[in-house]
Structure 1
Amino acid sequence: MKVQTNVPKQKMTAKDYVVTTLHYIVLTIASLFVATAVELFLAPNGLVDGGVTGLAIMGEEHFNIPLEVIFFGLNMPILIFTARLLGKKFFFRSLYSLLATLLFLAKYPIHVAVTDSDILIVLYGGIILGLGIGLVIRLGGAIDGVEMIAVWLQEKYKIGVSTTIFVGNLFVFGLSIFVFGLESAMLSVVVFYTVMKVIDSVEEGFHQHKSLMIISKKHEEITRALTEDMHLSITVLCGKGGYSGEEQVVLYSIVNKFLYSKARDIIMLIDEDAIIEASTVTETNGLGRHELKDRMMKKMKKA
């Protein structure tokens, strides 16, 4: 039974249309990156990235079926299957990326390798492919069936995305041993590692922050310095020492990773005995997020 809601749909503004258009331009560029890495670095040298892309490369080698045909033929049913749970935005952005990648794959000359150097293949092939896949994921889509299934399993059965990707790619790399040989399979694993590292960097981007927990007897001076000098938002928490039982003030804040070292130096300059706990934060949400972002951008421009 479907639950009826009275929440009205918001109409898209001119800004929304501009942002959406820019997103699809980026998706086009990302698809070009994926096709470039596959056609100029991986496929000509008998290397696979894992996932459906890897199966497509091996399928072309073994069955002599065009890579782009296998790539689209395997990804499309998976996309349709996962779309209902993952939503329209995911479906359309993934579909667009698939079609754009298919077009670019078809336009490239058949497997003209730009290099046969292992180190260049790993670096440039991995980085270019990672950029392409990472940008698509960053904008709410996916370009490989294994990623789609991984997200679907997480939403449906709470199975970790990394677990699904690991198991799926373990099968692909194992299969590549019989198609391209052990050495190529081993090098493919290194390419995959490079790709995953680049994807992580693209997803985190410049929005990665550090959360700070500060314990100091000079908390008032530290609060004043961080708010006035760095325009940080500070939350004052009341704590209690587990061993001493003494009441303590704990300061909490979030700072852009590029400004963390400056914040730390300010704290240590005021109180060299201050306890600072810093943790990586990859996502911040809520009303204060936009205020924090504006403050960070203004401060970085002045620096």
Structure 2
Amino acid sequence: MRLFMSPVFTVQTLLNIAAVIIGSFLFSVGVNAFMISGNLGEGGVTGLAIILLYAFDISPAISTLVLNGILLLVGFRYLSRRAMYYTIFAVILMSFFLGLTEPITLQTDEVMLNVIFGGLFIGMGNGLVIRIGATTAGSAILGRIAHKYLDVKIANAVLAFDLVVILLSLTVLSVEKVLLTIVAMYIAVKVMDFIIEGMNPKKAITIISKHPEMLGRLINSEIGRGVTMMSGKGFYAREENDILYVVINKNKLTRLKRLIKKYDENAFVVVNDVNSVLGSSFV
């Protein structure tokens, strides 16, 4: 009883664990039922595991566990303690589900079904795992290492590693299958971004206007959002300006742009993506 009353087992923690379980299962179904069934490849460690399957008939359930285990030992220092726990959990579950779903295959004469649904399931699985702050190990850890020592963006490093694996896939796959694999990976990335950002991503708007008081009141009354006003100074003219900052739902962005243009055509507006907003006042 005390164990479940511990702060470690909060509702959010249980939801995160559920997300890792569901995400790992969806990822495994995408790999086995669609990618491998369609004789396709993948990027990262899973791609290497599929190459080993095609070349030496080694189960991806085993090879992913070994390869990810090595990467975790090498790169554990680049993950926070929380991310490390969830990542270890995700790696073990993915290997387990890859073994469990091996018998699941989709035999079809239309390989594009494998491409589309393989990318869909893999993207959903990865998105659920990454959304809660974990990683799927593999290229993510290599990307962090490259970022630290080579000063490159993590996303670019991960993409580079995935492309290397795709090129290695040419040793066991035809050029046509490799190109179809790239299409599936593109779908997976888009689905993953959608899962991470949510169905209605937020936008942060910065507005520099000659009429900040009026725009602030209009945004508050017509858009229904609170506005933060900050003081700023132009670097060249050293002119003092009030800067408006507001976070809104994406579906209200067009209305906001029209409102700003209507009352101040010369306003300088910057729109940024926001993946997460904390605070009880934001619905």
Q: Aligning the two structures, in what range does the TM-score lie when normalised by the shorter sequence?
A: 0.7 to 0.9
Change in Cα spacing, 1:275 to 1:226, as seen in structure 2 (3 Å) is: same
Q: Please name the residue that 2:225 is paired with.
A: 231
- Paired with 1:203 and 1:283, the residues of 2 have a C-alpha distance of 7
Query: Is 2:273 the partner of 1:290?
Result: no
Letter aligned with residue 81 of structure 1: V
Bigger RCO of structures 1 and 2 (CA < 8 A, at least 6 apart): 2
Does the residue aligned with 2:278 lie in a helix, a strand or coil?
helix
The normalised TM-score by structure 1 is 0.81
Q: Please name the residue that 1:259 is paired with.
A: 252
Query: Is 2:178 the partner of 1:190?
Result: no
One of 186, 195, 202 as aligned partner of 1:209: 202
- Paired with 1:178 and 1:47, the residues of 2 have a C-alpha distance of 13
- Paired with 1:42 and 1:178, the residues of 2 have a C-alpha distance of 17
User: Do the aligned residues in 1 keep the contact of 2:45 with 2:64 (CA within 8 Å)?
Assistant: yes
Q: Please name the residue that 2:272 is paired with.
A: 280
User: Do the aligned residues in 2 keep the contact of 1:212 with 1:276 (CA within 8 Å)?
Assistant: no
Pick which of 213-222 and 124-133 moved more: 213-222
- Paired with 1:139 and 1:108, the residues of 2 have a C-alpha distance of 24
Does the residue aligned with 2:227 lie in a helix, a strand or coil?
coil
Change in Cα spacing, 1:79 to 1:112, as seen in structure 2 (3 Å) is: same
Aligned length: 278
Give the Å deviation of 1:247: 5.9
Q: Please name the residue that 2:7 is paired with.
A: 13
User: Do the aligned residues in 2 keep the contact of 1:256 with 1:296 (CA within 8 Å)?
Assistant: no
Change in Cα spacing, 1:171 to 1:111, as seen in structure 2 (3 Å) is: farther
| Deviation per residue, 1:19-74 (Å, 9 max, x gap) | 11110011000000110000100011111121110111111111011121111111
One of 76, 82, 91 as aligned partner of 2:84: 91
- Paired with 1:33 and 1:67, the residues of 2 have a C-alpha distance of 15
One of 129, 143, 148 as aligned partner of 1:150: 143
Q: Please name the residue that 1:57 is paired with.
A: 50
* Structure 1 runs of 4+ with >4 Å offset: 238-243, 245-249
- Paired with 2:264 and 2:78, the residues of 1 have a C-alpha distance of 52
- Paired with 1:131 and 1:115, the residues of 2 have a C-alpha distance of 22
Letter aligned with residue 70 of structure 2: P
Give RMSD over aligned pairs: 2.7
* 1:4-83 map, 5 Å: 13=7, 17-83=10-76
Give the Å deviation of 1:126: 0.5
Change in Cα spacing, 1:99 to 1:219, as seen in structure 2 (3 Å) is: same
- Paired with 2:147 and 2:103, the residues of 1 have a C-alpha distance of 37
- Paired with 2:202 and 2:120, the residues of 1 have a C-alpha distance of 23
**Structure 1: gaps of 5 or more residues:** 1-10, 298-303
Identity of aligned residues (%): 24
Change in Cα spacing, 1:79 to 1:238, as seen in structure 2 (3 Å) is: closer
Does the residue aligned with 1:140 lie in a helix, a strand or coil?
coil
Pick which of 248-257 and 117-126 moved more: 248-257
Letter aligned with residue 282 of structure 2: M
Does the residue aligned with 1:45 lie in a helix, a strand or coil?
coil
User: Do the aligned residues in 2 keep the contact of 1:208 with 1:280 (CA within 8 Å)?
Assistant: no
Change in Cα spacing, 1:88 to 1:207, as seen in structure 2 (3 Å) is: farther
Query: Is 2:118 the partner of 1:118?
Result: no
- Paired with 2:136 and 2:274, the residues of 1 have a C-alpha distance of 22
Give the Å deviation of 1:215: 4.0
Does the residue aligned with 2:244 lie in a helix, a strand or coil?
strand
| Deviation per residue, 1:74-104 (Å, 9 max, x gap) | 1111112211331322222111111111221
Give the Å deviation of 1:272: 5.3
Letter aligned with residue 260 of structure 1: L
